Structures are given as structure tokens and as C-alpha cells.
Amino acid sequence: MKQIPHLIAAKPVPGATATPVFNPATGEQSAQVASGGAGEIAAAMAAAGSAFPAWAATAPSKRAKVMYEMRRLLEARKDEIASAISAEHGKTHTDALGEVARGQEVVEYACGIPQLLKGSYSRNVSGGVDCYDERQPLGVVAGITPFNFPAMVPLWMMPMALACGNAFILKPSERDPSAPNLLHDLWREAGLPDGVLNVVHGAKEAVDAILDHPGIAAVSFVGSTPIAQYVYSRGAANGKRVQALGGAKNHLVVMPDADLDQAADALMGAGYGSAGERCMAVSVAVPVGEKTADALVAKLKPRVQALKIGPATDASAEMGPLVTRAHRDKVSSYIDAGAAEGAELVVDGRGLKLQGYEKGFWLGGTLLDRVTPTMSVYRDEIFGPVLSVVRAKDYEDAVSLINANPFANGTALFTRDGDAARDFAGRIQVGMVGINVPIPVPVGFHSFGGWKSSIFGSHGVYGPEGVHFYTRLKTVTSRWPTGIRSGAQFHFTER
């Protein structure tokens, strides 16, 4: 059985205990991953703490060289990383390649770190007094990541934290740990000094050890809302800087004037791509008006029935299995509940079996119409290939529905009406908005982050927000002895 170790001070460290890792397509165990706690976090902290001063003192232009090399390595090894992702997550190979490419964008942005860290200087702010500011690294920082993007989400964090001069401890998801270990090896190959990056595997015990360790200055978390809230509260109570990104329920509004084929295609990709296991997946379609709703559902139904579902090794597959058996069963139980609560089951994905993959964690694409806001299928984040149609009577009804939802990660409006689009972008209470773009994940030189219970803490991830999160501002005001002598001053003076 393949053993996946921790990586501390650039060395593999076997786990005292281990967790099984599965191939979701076959349903069989493929590996065992080490599971750490306070001891492993302390060891990673010791390695990162000793590596930090030299790394922080390395010129930003030299740190940028590591970023350039990492960018090259990600390009050269993307197929290998994508295969590692698919084997443990289940997503298709093309989708896994897309994940690597989105992570690579952040590395590209981090290549510009000398420019991004450039401070400002003001000469003669007062008689003979000059003032400048700079952004300094925080020290040892940690990242805790979810199963659904085992390469992209660590790459939202690591390039920014490392380029800014911090040392990093990654605690990836225990469900798909191979890709994070591969990334660690690529960073070393790119020239990152030993100990600057460490990977500790595990679950709650490892997370709690990170949150309680006094040496860790900041924590970036991406995962479900209840754990995000927990991580934020416990980390902040221990004096750490914390950004904790949570779950989502993303709506796509279809206006009567929209191109319905374009909207239906967009809903297919955004609702069922990666089996709906994306924090920016669209799980609620909101057609405006009964006529739009009837026409949209008529277009969606045959598309959902025709979804090609298969293992990542099948190049024609559009969607793979769910990550674990327990998760598949949970998603399936939401379909039971939706039907029992009165939703119209237009396409039922339950009970899907694939020849040769009978033990895999499969679930077919599911479409529910006439869902209402009180049903559990609407209220909860399902994180599976289930699209709910909530019919809005008019545009205002659609806006109110979205603004009343506690989640606020992403949303989209499909329309040809510029006025409606402008109004929507301005008034909607959601962090990332698409206009005729179903999954508005910002590019690497902007920043990612939702609002309300989709984020706890004040900074989004990567882009300019990443630089701010992983550095702190220092402002130096100086006067040289040859300057004007004014005697002791006991009050603020006008400049």
C-alpha cells in the first residue's frame, strides 16, 4: 500500500497514525496518508522558524527567481499533477489541468513580488524629516485547505506567502494528499530552501495544533462554513491573523431577454462540472418569469440526461464520481429530501452504476424544479451534481432571494440588458459577480473572496489582497542629526 508521509524540513516523516485514501472511481483504497497532531506541527514549526530569517532576508528579486522556476515546473509537470488530483479526487483530467493552470496564475503574479512589495517614500514631511513605509513578512504562516482543489487552493496561498518572505506550513485535505506533496517537491526543485515549506497531513488534531501554536503568526483557511467560523474564532482568540473562506450557495439568474441556449450551457458547466464539488459551482438557477422558467427547464432536461459521466481515464467524460462514499450518500439524501418536500424531480441521478466501476462513488446529474427557499435542498450547501430551479416572479424577486441568502460567494446574471446588469452588479450582496459569466473566479492579479458567511476575516486570497494578508506595514519616520534643532516638544505641532 502506498504511504503518503508528512514533509518536514524537506524530509519525509511517516505518521504515527494514518488515514485511508480512496480512488473514488473504483471505490478502492489506494494509499494511506500520515495523520499528524501537536508533535508534527511543533516539528514543522521548528523547521519553518529556523528557515524563516534567512528567507525573509533574501532579496525579493531572488525570491522571484524561485517563483519563475516554479511556474516553469508547473507547466512541465502539469499532467503528472493532474493525474494525482484525479486519482484521489475523481475529477476529469481536463478539469484537473484547469485547476493546475489557475494555481499557476498565482505563481505568475508572485513573480512580480519586487514590484508588489515596493514601498513609498516622502521626503521632508516636516523640517528635515523623511518618511517611508515598507511591507514586512509575518513569520511562519499556515494554510489549511479543502479536498475539492488539492492543488489550486494551496497554490492560492503558497506563492503569495513565500514570495512575501514568510515560511509556510500546509495542512492539506486528508482525502487527496498526493498533489500537495508533489507541489512541495516542485517548490524544492525550484530552489526553495529546506524548511521554508513543510506539509503536515491530518485532520482536526493537526488543525487545532496550528490554531494553538504561539509561533504561527497567521492562518489561511478554505473549507466549509462551520469549520471556517471555528478556525477564525479559535485562531483570532489566540492572537493570529486569520482569513477563513467558507461554503457557498451560488445563484445564476436568467432574465427573459437572455440567450437561453447560452444560459443553459453555462448552467451545465457551472452546475455539473467537477460533479458540483466547487465553491463557485452554481447550485441554484433563478429564471425570471414562468415563461423563461418553462423554456429553461426544457433546455436543461435533455442536457442533464445526456451528461457523460465516467472515470478520469475516459477522455470523453464531462464529470466524475463524488469524493467519498459518505459524501455521495449525503448528496443523494438531499435529493430524497427535495422530492419529499415537494420539489419536482425533472432528472434523477440516484442509483447510477457504471460497468466495471460498480464500487465507485457515482451519482448522476440531478435537476429539481419548483424548489422553494424553505426546502433543505435550497438552504444547505449540497456540494454535488444537483441543480435546483427556484422560479422568481420578477427581477426584484430574484435580487431579494439572493440578498436574503446567508452565503455570498459568487453569483451571475444572464441578460442582454445593460441597465439590469449594472443594477445587479451594484446592488447584489455577493463577493464575486458574473455578467453572462457563470463562474466569476477572479484571475490571479485580482483577488478571490466572498461576503457574509462565505468568509471570516477581512482579506480575500491571492492578488493584492494576498500581499496585504501575508505582510504587515511598517512606517519609518527619520531625521538626521544635521537637521533643525527645536528643543524638547511636549505637544503635536502643525507641520
Sign of CA dihedral 181, 187, 193, 197: negative
Q: Which is nearer to ligand NAD, 63 or 171 (CB)?
A: 171
| CA 143 to centroid of chain Cα atoms | 11
Contact in structure between 324 and 175 (CB atoms under 8 Å): yes
Q: What phi and psi, each to the nearest 5 degrees, are found at residue 84?
A: -65, -40
- Tell me the residue nearest to ligand NAD as measured from the CB: 223
- Please report how close the Cβ of residue 278 comes to ligand NAD at its closest, in angstroms: 7
Using CB under 6 A as the binding rule, whether residue 389 contacts ligand NAD is answered as no
SS3 call for 427: helix
Q: Which is nearer to ligand NAD, 84 or 245 (CB)?
A: 245
As a whole number of angstroms, the distance between CA 162 and CA 148 comes to: 23
Contact in structure between 194 and 184 (CB atoms under 8 Å): no
- Please report how close the Cβ of residue 230 comes to ligand NAD at its closest, in angstroms: 6
Contact in structure between 290 and 280 (CB atoms under 8 Å): no
Stretch that binds ligand NAD, among 90-98, 132-140, 144-152, 346-354 (CB under 6 A): 144-152
Q: Give, to the nearest 10 degrees, the angle between helix 93-110 and helix 60-76.
A: 160
Q: Of residues 359-378, which lie at the interface with ligand NAD (CB under 6 A)?
A: none
* The three cell numbers locating residue 494: 502643525
Q: Which is nearer to ligand NAD, 23 or 148 (CB)?
A: 148
Using CB under 6 A as the binding rule, whether residue 245 contacts ligand NAD is answered as yes
| CA neighbor of 61 nearest in space, from 115, 12, 109 | 115
Q: How far apart are the first and last CA of the chain?
A: 72
As a whole number of angstroms, the distance between CA 47 and CA 454 comes to: 33
| CA 433 to centroid of chain Cα atoms | 16
Using CB under 6 A as the binding rule, whether residue 463 contacts ligand NAD is answered as no
As a whole number of angstroms, the distance between CA 255 and CA 292 comes to: 7
The number of CA neighbours under 13 Å toward the Cβ of 7 is: 25
111 is catalytic: no
As a whole number of angstroms, the distance between CA 441 and CA 247 comes to: 15
Q: Which is nearer to ligand NAD, 345 or 441 (CB)?
A: 441
Strand order in the sheet with 28-35: 2-4, 28-35, 17-23
Residue from 148, 283, 405, 411 that binds ligand NAD (CB under 6 A)? 148
Using CB under 6 A as the binding rule, whether residue 444 contacts ligand NAD is answered as no
Q: What letter would DSSP give residue 365? A: -
DSSP string, 95-146: HHHHHHHHHHHHHHHHTTHHHHT--EEEEEEETTEEEEEEEEE-SEEEEE--
As a whole number of angstroms, the distance between CA 102 and CA 112 comes to: 17
Write the binding mask 82 to 121 for ligand NAD: x where contact by CB under 6 A, - elsewhere. ----------------------------------------
Q: How many residues at the interface with ligand NAD, by CB under 6 A?
A: 27
Q: Which is nearer to ligand NAD, 36 or 364 (CB)?
A: 36
Q: Which is nearer to ligand NAD, 180 or 289 (CB)?
A: 180
* The three cell numbers locating residue 293: 422558467
* The three cell numbers locating residue 382: 449540497
- Please report how close the Cβ of residue 101 comes to ligand NAD at its closest, in angstroms: 16
Stretch that binds ligand NAD, among 3-11, 122-130, 140-148, 394-402 (CB under 6 A): 140-148
Write the binding mask 214 to 243 for ligand NAD: x where contact by CB under 6 A, - elsewhere. --------xxx--x----------------
Using CB under 6 A as the binding rule, whether residue 247 contacts ligand NAD is answered as yes
Residue from 101, 125, 131, 203 that binds ligand NAD (CB under 6 A)? 203
Residue from 142, 248, 275, 399 that binds ligand NAD (CB under 6 A)? 248
* The three cell numbers locating residue 410: 459568487
Stretch that binds ligand NAD, among 54-62, 171-179, 212-220, 289-297 (CB under 6 A): 171-179
As a whole number of angstroms, the distance between CA 313 and CA 324 comes to: 18
As a whole number of angstroms, the distance between CA 280 and CA 270 comes to: 8
Residue from 69, 95, 174, 369 that binds ligand NAD (CB under 6 A)? 174
Stretch that binds ligand NAD, among 37-45, 116-124, 169-177, 414-422 (CB under 6 A): 169-177
111, 131, 164, 279: the catalytic one is: 279
Using CB under 6 A as the binding rule, whether residue 204 contacts ligand NAD is answered as yes
CA angle 137, 138, 139 (to 5 degrees): 100
- Please report how close the Cβ of residue 395 comes to ligand NAD at its closest, in angstroms: 27
Contact in structure between 411 and 252 (CB atoms under 8 Å): yes
Stretch that binds ligand NAD, among 77-85, 246-254, 258-266, 465-473 (CB under 6 A): 246-254
Residue from 73, 113, 207, 402 that binds ligand NAD (CB under 6 A)? 207
Using CB under 6 A as the binding rule, whether residue 409 contacts ligand NAD is answered as yes
Rounded to whole angstroms, the maximal C-alpha distance in the chain is 89
Residue from 33, 144, 335, 377 that binds ligand NAD (CB under 6 A)? 144
Stretch that binds ligand NAD, among 14-22, 78-86, 168-176, 251-259 (CB under 6 A): 168-176
Stretch that binds ligand NAD, among 47-55, 127-135, 145-153, 413-421 (CB under 6 A): 145-153
Note the residues at the interface with ligand NAD (CB under 6 A). 144-149, 153, 171, 173-174, 203-204, 207, 222-224, 227, 245-248, 279, 381, 383, 409, 450, 454
Query: Which residues participate in catalysis according to the annotation?
Result: 279
